[in-house]
Chains A and B, each alone.
Chain A
């Protein structure tokens, strides 16, 4: 395709484009710099599929080596980071299919794109200070909530809300439509709200319990 859209693709003068050209021209060591900004993102991408730290790390290493070997086939139809994310996702899914856990994990696909999600309606819980994340138990609550989502939802919410990729990058990386990204993101966010709001409320500032108000009181 002969698109010359400057918002995507190999734009001359873009630092990443130049970096890729220099690597392909023989400055192979610069590949380290190329992937550095995406380490966290691809780790979480792998983790979103396999839900296991050691396995996610292994997948990242394989994906990065694959991206290095196949770098010449990166044509710039998407951003490099999106391409790398898609490679990681493929590697992770391949791994998941090979492992026994694929059997049990497929069960959670029952909650699919059609079902409505009803949020938790607690009018007294509106905010949690970010400082609460200093507490390991609060981080654990969030990790467990994310882990409990169906895989397709978890992938979207991790790329969009944790790695802050935009909707079209997320759609490209996952190989799904923009509207499906929006639907899954919406359901995932409401599921997280529903799971987390009662738990966080219970875990944070219990001394304020007496001030709680209920919608029906």
Chain B
């Protein structure tokens, strides 16, 4: 099947995740070989995903973990997990 740009954009996310069927994947790749716009959209989308995955984008608040475990330690000292309602 010959895909136009819109078809390719609609499949970009699944293309990146490798979850397209082999036939559709081949159609997308065929289009990408000849379409500079779509190959740029693909590259930039993939790049945005790589950037987003970096832990530096959102850092935990300073001492977040220490405060969490301090609060948890108080609860653990005070109470045991609840018994299940039924066995």
Q: Which residues of A contact B73 (CB under 8 A)?
A: 32
Find out whether the CB atom of A157 lies under 8 angstroms from the CB atom of B52: yes
Find out whether the CB atom of B58 lies under 8 angstroms from the CB atom of A70: no
Find out whether the CB atom of B54 lies under 8 angstroms from the CB atom of A133: yes
Find out whether the CB atom of A146 lies under 8 angstroms from the CB atom of B52: yes
Min CB gap B80→A, angstroms: 6
Q: Which residues of B contact A118 (CB under 8 A)?
A: 9
Find out whether the CB atom of B81 lies under 8 angstroms from the CB atom of A23: yes
Query: Which of A72, A122, A133 sits near B44, CB closer than 8 Å?
Result: A122
How many A-B pairs with Cβ below 8 Å?
149
Q: What is the CA–CA distance of A123 and B5 in the complex, to the nearest angstrom?
A: 14
- The DSSP consensus for interface residues of chain B is helix
Find out whether the CB atom of A39 lies under 8 angstroms from the CB atom of B57: no
Find out whether the CB atom of B71 lies under 8 angstroms from the CB atom of A61: yes
Find out whether the CB atom of B72 lies under 8 angstroms from the CB atom of A31: yes
Q: Which residues of A contact B48 (CB under 8 A)?
A: 189, 192-193, 196-197
Q: Given A72-B84, A196-B48, A190 and B12 touching (CB < 8 A)?
A: yes
Q: Given A68-B72, A72-B82, A127 and B43 touching (CB < 8 A)?
A: yes
A207 at the interface (CB under 8 A from B): no
Q: How large is the interface on A (under 10, 10 to 19, 20 to 34, 35 or more residues)?
A: 35 or more
A96 at the interface (CB under 8 A from B): no
B4 at the interface (CB under 8 A from A): no
Instruction: Produce 1/0 per residue, B49-73, CB < 8 A to A.
Output: 1111111111011001101110111
Find out whether the CB atom of A123 lies under 8 angstroms from the CB atom of B40: yes
Residue of B nearest to A139 (CB): B57
List residues of chain A with CB under 8 Å of any chain B CB: 23-24, 26, 28-29, 31-32, 35, 39-40, 43-44, 47, 53-54, 57, 60-61, 64-65, 68-73, 116, 118-128, 130, 132-134, 139, 142-143, 146, 157, 161-162, 164, 167, 182, 185-186, 189-190, 192-193, 196-197, 215
Counting from the closest, the 4 A-B pairs by CB-CB distance are: A186-B13, A126-B43, A123-B40, A72-B84
